Chains A and B, each alone.
Chain A
């Protein structure tokens, strides 16, 4: 069985006290193998964020079945880390303490957090250094640039060593150069730690560069209309994005999205 398995799922947002409401996704089928990097693309409003919430147990399907790591999702999935377009750092905490926030909440770290604080802090600094934020831990997040905050946000998503990383348009608000830098950061983290990743994005180049498999979703109610394997060899240097094979895949996906918008 796949690591993340979504079978024939529908999700309807109901206003309280009524059976009507908008159908965000319907007949959604999607599976992600352990360690795989999957990107989900689609026209805006196609229910990509609903997919995020389904896979992390923040929302439950109206119909169908969601399993993560072989278990039915019946509550928040603590083995998941999340990062969003908005880095949402807490301005009153140092960057290091922002990164450590999940450990204060998630078991089993929660119990040993106070007694092991020193070790955890070192771990956070190490993780920050691995994304190019050496020494930034003792600064406040608002003293960092947008790209640096997003790196810190990735560290926060990864500090508890999640088996599943969920990324919701994490680079959407960044400039093109910073974005490409962060693609490489993610690529290297994925290569070294081997977590399963689901990336929701609008950017087809980003999807093709990073993912092993790209799913295209239809307009609302969203379902998967294309499942495209990306055969590019790893490790992928950023130059691969200028090669013909790469742009052919991007072109092909662009065609599917155009169809989905109709």
Chain B
């Protein structure tokens, strides 16, 4: 009883839960002080208070464009899930398909997507379509690779047990392969969603008339540097939010794969 009373207030706080908030607050405070001490002009690096002011001033526009980007990103991400899952299952199905398509996939993924956007604009015109497609193209690769890896790493003993019983390829895939690749799949969603943001904003900065990327470009042209930074922070917030959502989904769907408790 006395032991609990004697514990200091510091040891009663949940530091793990507080850590992200403290670190974020610390970064902004450090930033504010640094700008103030070194007297950095706002058009080089605006202080957080100045950025907050700009965000407030352009609030409705920032909100509208953020929603636009979020929508675009999620649309591209949704496409990436559907096609990534399908292609991953297809590639992981057979060693020969895997061997045949893998180099193509790597090659395709190595192409800078910034070079692809003009082609998409040429095909579909400027606007949200190229943005959705860029988000899709950039984010579906990790999904494909992870699903295919999950299928390709089935234990040979497990396959023997089932094949000896007369199981068809389809049985092995549905009973073992697909459930087994789910942790890989949900893990890849966390990577894919952040990539999808990069894709959609990239396309918006090249050819769009709405979205955070477009807003950033306009702000830059008008020399509204604090607004550019406000846009960046809005993107970061959206990215963290979506990542947290994906991490939560992963935990809910494949809790059995996180049994070690190592990172709880």
Residues on A lying within 8 angstroms of B by beta carbon are 53, 56-58, 75-78, 80, 82, 84, 86, 88, 90-92, 101-102, 104-107, 140, 142, 156-157, 160, 166
Decide yes or no: A105 and B165 within 8 Å by CB, A82-B160, A92-B179 being known contacts: yes
State the CA gap A136–B179 with chains docked (Å).
Answer: 22
Min C-beta distance of B263 to chain A, whole Å? 17
Task: Give bound CA distance, A145 to B166, whole Å.
Answer: 30
Is B165 within 8 A of A91, CB to CB?
no
Question: How many Å from the CB of B184 to the closest CB on chain A?
Answer: 13
Cα(A209)–Cα(B182), bound, Å? 43
Q: Look across to chain A and name the residue whose beta carbon is closest to the beta carbon of B158.
A: A88
Q: A117 CA to B82 CA in the complex, in Å?
A: 33
Complex Cα gap A56–B160 (Å): 9
**A92 neighbours in B (Cβ, 8 Å):** 179, 182, 254, 256-257
Q: Residues of B at under 8 Å CB distance from A?
A: 155, 157-158, 160-167, 171, 175-176, 179-180, 182, 254, 256-257, 259
- Closest chain-A Cβ to B160's Cβ sits at a distance in Å of 6
Main SS class of interface, B = helix
Question: Is the beta-carbon distance between B165 and A106 smaller than 8 angstroms?
Answer: yes
Give the chain B neighbours of A101 by CB distance below 8 A.
161-162, 175
Complex CA gap A53/B164 in Å reads 9
Residues on A with beta carbons closer than 8 Å to the beta carbon of B166: 75-76, 78, 105-107
Q: How far is the CB of B164 from chain A (nearest CB, A)?
A: 4
A-side contacts of B182, CB under 8 Å:
92
Is the beta-carbon distance between A140 and B157 smaller than 8 angstroms? no
Flag if A86 contacts B175 (CB, 8 Å): no
Assess the B161–A156 pair: CB atoms within 8 A: yes
> B residues within 8 A CB of A166?
164
Q: Given A75-B166, A92-B256, A140-B256, do A102 and B161 touch, yes or no (CB 8 Å)?
A: yes
Identify which of B157, B179, B256 contacts A88 (C-beta below 8 A): B157
Complex: A156 Cα to B182 Cα, angstroms: 24
The answer to whether A91 and B256 touch across the interface, beta carbons within 8 angstroms, is yes
A220–B259 Cα distance when bound, in Å, is: 42
What separation, in Å, do the CA atoms of A78 and B166 have in the docked complex? Answer: 6
Q: Across the interface, do B259 and A142 meet the contact criterion of CB distance under 8 Å?
A: yes
**Complex CA distance for A82 and B164, rounded to whole angstroms:** 8
Residues of B within 8 A of A57 (CB): 164
* A228 to B50 Cα, complex, angstroms: 89
B252 to chain A, nearest CB (A): 13
CA distance A104 to B4 in the complex (A): 55
Q: Are A105 and B160 in contact (CB under 8 A)?
A: no
8 Å CB contact of B165 from A78, A88, A90, A140: A78
Given A56-B160, A90-B176, A92-B182; 10 other pairs, CB 8 A cutoff: A58-B160, A84-B160, A84-B161, A90-B158, A92-B257, A102-B162, A104-B171, A105-B162, A105-B171, A140-B256
Q: Find the A residue at minimum CB distance from B161.
A: A82
A104 to B170, CA, bound (A): 13
Docked Cα-Cα span, A80 to B167, in Å, equals: 13
Q: Which residues on B sit within 8 Å (CB–CB) of A82? A: 160-161, 164
The distance from the CB of B249 to the nearest CB of chain A, in whole angstroms, is: 16
Report Cα–Cα, A160/B167, bound state, in Å. 14
Residues of A within 8 A of B164 (CB): 56-58, 76-78, 80, 82, 166
